[in-house]
Structure 1
Amino acid sequence: MKSSGICPDSWTFSSMITMSSCCGKVSEAENMLNEMFEAGFQPNIFVLTSLIQCYDDRFCGCLLNVMTQTPNEELGKLVECVERANPKLGHVVKLLVEEQGNEGSFKKEAADLFDSISTEVKKAYCNCLIDLCVNLNMLERACELLDLGLTLEIYTVIQSKTSTQWSLNLKSLSSGAALTALHVWVNDLSKALEAGEQLPPLLGINTGHGKHKYSEKGLANVFESHLKELNAPFHEAPDKVGWFLTTKVAAESWLESRKLADATVAA
């Protein structure tokens, strides 16, 4: 429409997107949606619903991604869209947003969801669901999803060990999933020390590298800020892009200080 000199309003954009969606013309609907954004208009729930109808699992993944960037108080408006597009996904999302279900029932529903979707979108779904948990301050649920992802081999080799270095590999994880994996790893390191296990000379976190639409440094940028908040002794390696490293001595000292702080709070 832009090339023809027409200046459509929000209603016109919405109508054209809905028509294209109903006809299964995905590319046309996508192009129209991009033009709508460029013109400064936002699609309403009816436009989003019509788009869902002409997409498969991948669009549901996109909608999940939208939810991870939506203010918590607005999430309810999107739950219905997700339920219409994929009832199983909608049920899992609803359990999170409405804080329903116990650990066993939630993991079962999530496992059923992953069994029902195509392999190529499982990691994207799991990443987004964990991000949603993190946004909702539901760390236990995030850990359950990460554990399920490892059990179902959606994620592989997040933690690795050699005689000289223990590593946390986060390259394929979203920011929320990566922060959850860090939480689990730190707990595992603490348990290893309590069990009398010796840490290796070097410990590292690999965040990968490359540009990201939310920051120039991608996950590394998110992690750098989070590590500072935790007062963790990991520092970005100048010769290994995306890596944060620390020594055995520094790690043990930090883990011990966390243990003492937790004991003080508990007392």
Structure 2
Amino acid sequence: MKSLRFGRQFQLIEELAHDMIKNEVELDNITYSTIITCAKRCNLFDKAVEWFERMYKTGLMPDEVTYSAVLDVYAKLGKVEEVMSLYERGRASGWKPDAIAFSVLGKMFGEAGDYDGIRYVLQEMKALGVEPNLVVYNTLLEAMGKVAKPGLARSLFEEMVESGINPNEKTLTSLVRIYGKARWARDALQLWERMKSNGWPMDFILYNTLLSMCADLGLVEEAERLFEDMKASEHSKPDSWSYTAMLNIYGSGRNVDKAMKLFEDISDLGVELNVMGCTCLIQCLGRAKRIDDLVRVFEFSLEKGVKPDDRLCGSLLSVLSYCEGEDLDKVLACLHQANPKLVAFIKMVEEEKTSFEMVKQEFKSILNDTSVEARRPFCNCLIDICRNKDTTETAHELLYMGTVYGLYPGLHTKTSDEWCLNVRSLSVGAAHTALEEWVGTLTKMVERQEALPQLFSANTGAGTHKFSQGLPSAFALHVRKLAAPFRQSEEKAGLFVATREDLVSWVQSRSLAATA
């Protein structure tokens, strides 16, 4: 049976077990344990549970290996209650869980995002005097990341180091991810310095995780130092994802010269340019209006086998929204190779004879062919393109359809005291369209003397991120252009407010001016 388990031959083991039962050869603890652990190794979790329950009915007590294996099986099946019931039953029978069993519990609670469960595991280990090993620490750190507890993760890591256990690549990668998600840049970079000074192991995944964190937080100089470290290392030379992270950093920071130098290095060194790297470059070159370079990068990526995805198409759409003349035609030609349906839609909405029903039908078809996370960016860009082509009516229709199809949840919120327009997830053109739509609706409500709240507010977000696209200032300009009665809040950046009296007075003054 043990030989068959080694070869993952569960069916043969089960047949052998049935032969034993048929011939009245008693199955002991080790036999059942061998059957159950083989089922687990073969991912036959239902079979593992079936044989465990059979074992329990015979009155045999599971050993440590069997308990840990079945706990893991229940956890993988998502049966949290069964796991805890089995754990407590085992404890009551005198079983002392080992580090492996606690690792299973920690992973289960982490997957469930159960912080109290993770604390329970730590308390049980201390109460039973079980010393965590590296596997347990790694499992618990990974769980801390899923419940967003960076402070507890840091304390656990320090406890591990003080106990004399050296972290491995998995430990450090988990901790860096936790710090990056919590935007604890200083802690992550201090950890990197400790890695170097202590000679802790660094691999591709760890380096790339650090680079991705730098990209997310806009830490350009720190990323450059990391990247140079990788190039100087013997075993962790930059790979495709390392270059992609740097392209993301330079692209987001609009450092087009450094981004293009990196692109030349990619070409010369034969590093694979993936679709994400291509997208970052196109965004950067588009903002810098270096359209010829953009076309060169796009053509190069197609030659190297890059298949344009929705995010890359979204970048081309975004560039289109502020292009003119020959540049517009060049970007359209690129987009046509990536997604001809989008180009056909753009050309269709330019035609005066296009009806709302035609726009609605084609737009719905585009959304159905687009991944969920790219649908709102597509809609934003298409609205921007319509506004730039002076087809403002179509821009309003697209915003309406985007709202109907659930692309802008929370655009409008209402309480008895305040109505709010939330445009934080909109592009500049889409935010302008939403403001015009809202002001128009409020004007009609004032004219009809409908009940209104005391306060109105429009929220663009603060726009404080290093790579922010400046929505608050663009929105403020449009408020002034419309002469709308909203003023920027002194207490909160990116918030525009108006009272009911402001709105009513404004509508009345416009009516008087119109009749004069």
Query: How many Å separate the matches in 2 of 1:50 and 1:109?
Result: 31
Residue number in structure 2 paired with 1:202: 455
Larger relative contact order, structure 1 or 2 (CA cutoff 8 Å, min sep 6) = 1
Residue number in structure 2 paired with 1:158: 411
CA displacement, residues 150-203 of structure 1 (integer Å, 9 cap, x when unaligned): 111011121222111111111111110000000110111012123321221111
Maintained 8 Å contact 1:236/1:244: yes
Residue number in structure 2 paired with 1:93: 346
Alignment size in residue pairs: 252
One-letter amino acid of the structure 2 residue matched with residue 83 of structure 1:
H
Residue number in structure 1 paired with 2:144: none
Query: How many Å separate the matches in 2 of 1:50 and 1:180?
Result: 37
Matched position secondary structure for 1:228: helix
**Are residues 1:48 and 2:271 paired?**
no
**Are residues 1:229 and 2:514 paired?**
no
Residue number in structure 1 paired with 2:48: none
User: How far apart are 1:142 and its partner, in Å?
Assistant: 0.5
CA displacement, residues 203-240 of structure 1 (integer Å, 9 cap, x when unaligned): 11111112367878x21111112212222221111112
Q: Which moved more, 1:121-130 or 1:189-198?
A: 189-198
Matched position secondary structure for 2:416: coil
Aligned positions of 1:48-197 closer than 5 A: 48-51=298-301, 53-71=306-324, 74-97=327-350, 101-197=354-450
Query: How many Å separate the matches in 2 of 1:237 and 1:158?
Result: 19
Q: Which structure is higher in helix share?
A: 2
CA RMSD of aligned residues (A): 3.6
Query: How many Å separate the matches in 2 of 1:81 and 1:87?
Result: 9
**Are residues 1:245 and 2:500 paired?**
no
User: How far apart are 1:89 and its partner, in Å?
Assistant: 1.3
Query: How many Å separate the matches in 2 of 1:116 and 1:100?
Result: 25
After TM superposition, the score normalised by the length of structure 2 is 0.43
Q: Which moved more, 1:249-258 or 1:164-173?
A: 249-258
One-letter amino acid of the structure 1 residue matched with residue 422 of structure 2:
N
Maintained 8 Å contact 1:215/1:221: no
**Structure 2 unaligned residues grouped into runs of 5+:** 1-227, 232-259
Matched position secondary structure for 2:293: coil
2:464 to 211, 221, 229: 211
One-letter amino acid of the structure 1 residue matched with residue 491 of structure 2:
D
CA gap of 1:165–1:177, structure 2 versus 1, over 3 A, is same
Matched position secondary structure for 2:407: coil
Maintained 8 Å contact 1:16/1:32: no
Matched position secondary structure for 2:408: coil
CA displacement, residues 46-86 of structure 1 (integer Å, 9 cap, x when unaligned): 54244365331110001011111212564233222212211
Q: Which moved more, 1:176-185 or 1:251-260?
A: 251-260
User: How far apart are 1:100 and its partner, in Å?
Assistant: 6.1
CA gap of 1:121–1:31, structure 2 versus 1, over 3 A, is closer
Maintained 8 Å contact 2:275/2:312: no
User: How far apart are 1:44 and its partner, in Å?
Assistant: 5.6
CA gap of 1:29–1:135, structure 2 versus 1, over 3 A, is closer
Query: How many Å separate the matches in 2 of 1:16 and 1:123?
Result: 33
User: How far apart are 1:263 and its partner, in Å?
Assistant: 5.5
Query: How many Å separate the matches in 2 of 1:123 and 1:31?
Result: 19
**Structure 1 unaligned residues grouped into runs of 5+:** none
Query: How many Å separate the matches in 2 of 1:32 and 1:146?
Result: 29
One-letter amino acid of the structure 2 residue matched with residue 193 of structure 1:
V
Query: How many Å separate the matches in 1 of 2:284 and 2:444?
Result: 53
Q: Which moved more, 1:121-130 or 1:24-33?
A: 24-33
One-letter amino acid of the structure 1 residue matched with residue 483 of structure 2:
N
One-letter amino acid of the structure 2 residue matched with residue 54 of structure 1:
K
CA gap of 1:93–1:239, structure 2 versus 1, over 3 A, is same
CA gap of 1:119–1:74, structure 2 versus 1, over 3 A, is same
